[in-house]
Structure 1
Amino acid sequence: MKRFTLLSLLMLSLAHPCFASHWRELGNTPNGNLISVLDTQIRKGDIITTRIRNDLSEPKQTENGHITRIEADLQINCSKKTVSPIRTFLFDDQGSAELSVNLRGGRDFIKKNEDSSFGLAIKELC
C-alpha cells in the first residue's frame, strides 16, 4: 500500500510540474506581460521541454470570461532557436484552467520574435 501511495504521488508530481517546481521570472514582453518559467526542465541534446507562464497585464475577454494567465508546455530547439508548443492552459480570473491542445505539439518547430513570451524563453534558457 505504501508503494502504491508513493508511486501515485510521484506520478502526480510529474503530471503537474507546478506541484514539484517553482516559477522563475524571465522578464516582461513589450506590452507588459510577465513571463516566468518552471525551474525544472528536461534537456535532451539541443531540445528543452519546459512550461512557461504568461501573466497578462490586461485580461483578454473571451466568450467564457476574462483570461488572466496562460501556461504553455513547449519544446525549445536551442541550436535552431525555435519552439514547438505542446499544450496550452488558459486561466480565467477565478483561476480555473481550460485546456487548449496544440495539434503541432512536439512536431513542428517555429521561429518566434525575441520579445514574445516564447522568444524570452529561448533567450533565457538556451
Structure 2
Amino acid sequence: MADGGKFAPKTPVNLNPPKDDPISLEQLAMCDGNRDGYPTYVAIKGTVFDVSGNKAYGPTGQYRVFAGKDASRALAKSSLKPEECVPEWEDLPDSEKKVLNDWYTFFSKRYNIVGQVKNASNL
C-alpha cells in the first residue's frame, strides 16, 4: 500500500508473523477484555488482531466496545455505538470503505494477527 507509511507507529513494533488460525465468533466474544486468562481481540474484515497490550480496549477503555467483536462497520463509520460493531461493511460508501481500510492498515502495523474469523464472509 503506497500510503502505508503514514500509519507507521512512532515507536517501531516487532510483530510476529501473521497467523491464520480459525477463530469462531464464540471464541472471539470470549476475548472481550473482561475475562481473566483470555487475551483481548478485535477483528477487522475477518482478521483477528491481539490488542491485549492496549488498555484502550480493556474493560474501562474508550474503545472497549470493539473488543471481542468484528467491529468493521463501526470502524468504517468512526462510530463507538455497540450496535454498529458488526462485520458487515460491504454496503457502505467508498469513503467509509477507505476509512475501514485505513484502520486495517493502522492495526496491522501495531498488533499481531492471531487468526481469521471462522467462516467470515466480510474479507
TM-score band by shorter chain is under 0.3
Task: Return the structure number with greater relative CO, CA threshold 8 A, min gap 6.
Answer: 2
Task: Answer 1 or 2: which has greater helix percent.
Answer: 2
Question: Which protein shows a greater Rg?
Answer: 1
Q: Give the TM-score of the pair, scaled to structure 2.
A: 0.27
Q: Give the TM-score of the pair, scaled to structure 1.
A: 0.26
Task: Answer 1 or 2: which has greater strand percent.
Answer: 1
